[in-house]
Amino acid sequence: MSENIIRPSIKSEDLIAFIKSRKSVRNFIFEKISDQTIRDILECGRWAPSGMNNQPWKVIVVKSPMVKQMLANLTKYGGLIESSYVSIVVFLDLQASYHRVKDIQAIGAFMENILLGVHAMELGAVWVGEILNKKEEVNELFKFNPNKYELMGVIAVGVIDEQKEKMKEEPRVRKMVDEFTDWL
């Protein structure tokens, strides 16, 4: 991925349609995803904005079925983690932090960029936030000092089970822009 593109030659309407078409995928088939693809996905995260460009993210890529299982045991959405090929565990690097709200906003941007990267690779992903209920246990699993790293979420990534996804297709609900926007 080039680092100096001013604006890629994607038609705006295509890019907007792409952003709107990203959705959580919860049905995976167990198929390998190459390390290079995982790196390309993380590369999308790398280009997220952050306050003072502090890039306060720290990631563990979990491919090991055994570790994935241990992670899955820490959330009621563990089935998603188990059935996906890889879990991207995202932490806030507390030593890189300078402003709690801005740092967490940067992590949100980082995670959304990853979701969009996954979507661009025609793979599926779901953000598992529920695991934050067991954030201390997640730190223990990775032997991460809680004073250094704070869990922000897990993104389960896998090859989409297209058939199951089609069968489960639900209407995608969003507030209208005018419901959350005032104009002055």
Q: Please tell me the chain's helix, strand, coil percentages from 3-state DSSP, rounded to the nearest 5.
A: 45, 20, 40
Please give the radius of gyration of the chain, using alpha carbons only, rounded to the nearest integer: 17
Could you tell me if 150 and 135 are in contact, meaning their C-beta atoms sit under 8 angstroms apart?
Answer: yes
If binding is defined by CB under 6 A, does position 144 make contact with ligand FMN?
Answer: no
**Least spacing, CB of residue 74 vs ligand FMN, in Å:** 12
Per CB under 6 A, the list member of 61, 70, 77, 134 interacting with ligand FMN is 77
If binding is defined by CB under 6 A, does position 165 make contact with ligand FMN?
Answer: no
| Of 16 and 52, CB closest to ligand FMN | 16
Could you tell me if 139 and 151 are in contact, meaning their C-beta atoms sit under 8 angstroms apart?
Answer: yes
**Least spacing, CB of residue 166 vs ligand FMN, in Å:** 14
State whether residue 182 is helix, strand or coil: coil
**Least spacing, CB of residue 7 vs ligand FMN, in Å:** 26
| 111's tokens | 């995670």
**Least spacing, CB of residue 126 vs ligand FMN, in Å:** 5
CA-wise closest residue to 93 among 128, 129, 144: 144
Per CB under 6 A, the list member of 109, 129, 141, 142 interacting with ligand FMN is 129
| Of 41 and 128, CB closest to ligand FMN | 128
Q: What is the DSSP string of 76-103?
A: TTHHHHHHSSEEEEEEEETTT-S-HHHH
Per CB under 6 A, which region of 10-18, 31-39, 91-99, 122-130 contacts ligand FMN? 122-130
Could you tell me if 89 and 67 are in contact, meaning their C-beta atoms sit under 8 angstroms apart?
Answer: no
If binding is defined by CB under 6 A, does position 125 make contact with ligand FMN?
Answer: no
CA atoms within 13 A on the CB side of 24: 15
Per CB under 6 A, the list member of 128, 138, 151, 155 interacting with ligand FMN is 128
If binding is defined by CB under 6 A, does position 142 make contact with ligand FMN?
Answer: no
If binding is defined by CB under 6 A, does position 23 make contact with ligand FMN?
Answer: yes
Q: Which residues make up the interface to ligand FMN (CB under 6 A)?
A: 23-24, 77, 126-130, 172
